[in-house]
Structures are given as C-alpha cells and as structure tokens.
C-alpha cells in the first residue's frame, strides 16, 4: 500500500506574527521542494500528502524559509497515518498497521521550541494501553537530545527545527508499525521574544 | 473528583499576524475573566485549567479580544480530560470516565472558521472502535449548524466563535462520559484575507 493509499500526510498552519505575513508565507511555500507530494492550501491550513520523508522535508523547508525573515512565527502541525479519506476513514479499522523507515532530515539551522503530543488511536479489540507507546516516545526524545521538559498535555522539545520534527515524526512512524491510526500534533515556536518560562 | 483533579484543561497558542502582536495578545489576556482558573503562559502556549465552562469562556474571550483588533489571527487549541499531570498521567488507565454538563457560551460576535479533530484515547481493554464517537460528533456538528465540510484529518467548522468552540467542547465532554482520556484539537482562523477555497 502506498503512503497515499495509507493516508500518510500532514496539515500545517503557519502563523507569522508580522504585518508582512502574506509575502513571507507565500515565498516560503513557493521555495519549498514539492517533489512527490500532493499539496492543497486553503484558508485554515495546508494539506501535504506523500511519503514520510518528503512530507517532513517539505514542512522543514517551509518553516525554515519563513523563519529566515526573522519574524516570530508558530506552526501548528498535524501528522496522520492509517485513516485516509475525508468524512470517513477509507480504511476500515483492523487493517494491518503499516510502518515506515525512520526519516533523517538535514539540519535547518533554525532553533525551534515545541509542544508535542502523540495519539495512538487504539480500538477496543486492540491490545495494550495507549500511554505505553507515549512514554516510550518521550524516552526516545530524551535519548535524542531534544527533550526539554513536560508541560501539561504536551512534551516540550527544543533543538534544531529538523531534529524536533524528526523526533516527533519518528515516534509517529514507530507507533504506526503496530497501531493503524496514529496522529501527532506539534506547536512549533521560532524567533520568539519571550523567555522560556515567561 | 474536581475538574482540576481529573485534568480538565487546555493549551492555547494565539498567533496574531500583525507586527503589533505583543500588545494585542497581552491586552486580550489581561481583559479576560480568569475566575476559577489556573493560568500559566510560557513561550509556546497558555495553559488553562478549571471547570469546562470557565475554560471555554476564557478561550472565547481571549480570542475575541484579539480579533477585535481587526488583525488576522489563528489559534491552536488543545482540550484534554482524564490525564492530569505532566510527564505521566497522574490517573492510571481504567479510572471511571467522568463527564460534565455541556457548556453553553454566549455568542462572541466574531466569525470563526476552524479545523477540528477529536481523539478518544481508548486502551486495549476498552470496548468499541475509536471512530464511532468521532462520526457521532460530526453528525452533532451538522445538527448544530456549524459543520461546513470535512478535509483530510479534520472537520471544518464555520460560525460564531462561541458556537464553534461549543460544538468542539461538547463533543469532547460527551465522549468523556465513557472514555477516560479524551483530547480534541482545533485550529481556528479569524479575519483571514483568504477566500475559503484559496
């Protein structure tokens, strides 16, 4: 089953805290490599579908491109797998879970701080508890050096934008090897004037 | 068990696409009613904990306050219940699910368009499929008049900001009556210059 058939993709809302936001966002979207991707932008977010490494590479490039303006920005990112379609999942529950190779992203040269949440969407006939893979993912983030604390409802990541995205994506991919429908959300902040614990 | 003990709360990232964003965000936060709430703002988002009706009333007021500036803005909102604590859930899996009365919010007088996702976090010993309450929530959104389509990975809502928040919150509360740990994410867009299907 291809990434497209399995519903591998993202929604991204890029918010630029600058009155010149239209030019900054459009330039960042225009400069990013869209090879192998389906991309649709509407008034709320941009939909990106394709193989994991290309989806994440595109997200890194768009955010880094906008960050190069120097403006403060945030990005709300949703990664989903195992539930293609719109109103309903086109894959019924119980389809064999499909993992993928981990992604490896070149550094973006931009520091990112993020709140990250991972949702393994089990069904009643599944085995195990949903928090078990979440705790394992937090341990991996610590080993990868981008963990910087846990706030309520989210894990805090801090590092090069590519490393932050890679940690979240590889946790999502790893859980996806055993759970069909897995979603992860990231809120990334770049160029913030706020101190970390303001 | 109180809302606080059960972990009822939110994280909100308010993004204002305007070079005067600091003043707009700080003024909106300062003007909102914080009665009964625990609120902590850091560099990525604002944490809000308390009873459902107060959490949602605060979120409506902060977003509507910022929207009154006329600036384009987006808000990334996470509502969570049933998993208090930071690094680990302080409630173990299997605690009896705790619902709440639905919230009823006064209109904000601001039109909001949103992408909305609902995550019932079942465990393997649960019964049922995780998509069943999601499909039911989408049907309720249609009956409530704020459903405006389904995009990949998210349902599109459109209406007064309060009606949009109320539909998402009441679905989250309703699923919470039978599922301990339920999270919902909204990305709300206000004052966008983009046409709906740009």
| Total number of residues shown for chain A | 198
**Class (C level, CATH) for B3-82+107-190:** alpha beta
Question: Assign residue B65 a region: left if phi > 0, alpha if psi is -120 to 50, beta otherwise?
Answer: alpha
Chain B residues with CB inside 8 Å of A17's CB? 15-19, 21
How much is the pLDDT for B131? 93
Give contacts of A22 with chain B, Cβ < 8 Å: 193
Determine what percent of chain A is predicted with pLDDT higher than 90.
87
- The mean pLDDT of chain B is 94
Place of tokens 């079942």: B122
Helix (H, G, I), strand (E, B) or coil at A173: helix
DSSP, collapsed to helix, strand or coil, labels residue A118 as strand
Question: Exposure of A30 by Cβ count < 10 A (0-12 exposed, 13-18 middle, 19+ buried)?
Answer: exposed
Nearest to residue A128, comparing CAs of A79, A175, A78? A175
Q: Give B149→chain A minimum CA distance, Å.
A: 8
CATH fold group of domain A3-170+183-190 = Alpha-Beta Plaits (3.30.70)
Mutant choice from A7, A12, A14, A15 vs B, greatest count of B C-beta within 10 A: A15
**Measured between alpha carbons, how far is B186 from A129 in angstroms, rounded to an integer?**
25
Query: Which of A20, A129, A179 is best to mutate for the B interface (most B CBs within 10 A)?
Result: A129
User: Positive or negative, the Cα torsion across B21, B24, B29, B30?
Assistant: positive
**Could you please report the per-residue DSSP string of B105-125?**
----S-EEEEEEEEEE---TT
| ipTM for this prediction | 0.95
Distance of CA A117 to the CA centre of its chain: 10
pLDDT, tens digit, 9 for 90 and up, residues B154-166:
999 999 999 999 9
How many Å is the Cα radius of gyration of chain B? Answer: 16
Say whether pLDDT at A196 is over 70.
no
Checking if the pLDDT of B197 tops 80, the result is no
Going from N- to C-terminal start, the domains of chain A cover 3-170+183-190
CB B141 within 8 A of CB B75: no
The predicted structure's pLDDT at residue A198: 38
**pLDDT above 70: percentage of residues in chain A:** 98
pTM of the complete model? 0.96
pLDDT at residue B127, rounded to an integer: 82
* Rounded Cα gap, residues A50 and B151, in angstroms: 16
Burial class (CB in 10 A: 0-12, 13-18, 19+), B2: exposed
Residue A122's contacts (CB-CB under 8 Å, 6 or more residues apart) are A128, A130, A179, B121, B122, B123, B124, B126, B130
* Rounded Cα–Cα distance for residues B47 and B109 (Å): 25
pLDDT over 70 (residue B196): no
- Evaluate if residue A127 carries a pLDDT over 90: no
- Helix/strand/coil for A63: helix
């Amino acid at each position: 089953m291809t990434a497209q058939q399995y519903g591998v993709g993202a929604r991204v809302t890029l918010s630029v805290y600058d009155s010149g936001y239209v030019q900054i966002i459009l330039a960042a979207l225009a400069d990013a490599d869209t090879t192998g991707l389906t991309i649709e932008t509407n008034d709320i977010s941009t939909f990106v579908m394709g193989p994991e490494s290309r989806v994440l590479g595109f997200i890194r490039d768009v955010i880094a491109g906008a960050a190069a303006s120097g403006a403060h920005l945030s990005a709300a990112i949703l990664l989903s797998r195992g539930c293609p379609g719109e109103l309903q999942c086109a894959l019924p529950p119980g389809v064999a879970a499909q993992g993928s190779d981990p992604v490896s992203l070149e550094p973006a040269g931009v520091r990112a701080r993020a709140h990250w949440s991972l949702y393994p969407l089990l069904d009643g006939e599944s085995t195990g508890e949903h928090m078990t893979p979440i705790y394992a993912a937090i341990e991996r983030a610590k080993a990868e050096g981008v963990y910087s604390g846990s706030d309520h409802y989210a894990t805090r990541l801090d590092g090069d934008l590519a490393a932050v995205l890679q940690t979240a994506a590889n946790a999502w991919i790893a859980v996806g090897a055993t759970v069909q429908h897995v979603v992860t959300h990231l809120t990334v902040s770049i160029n913030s004037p706020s101190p970390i614990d303001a």
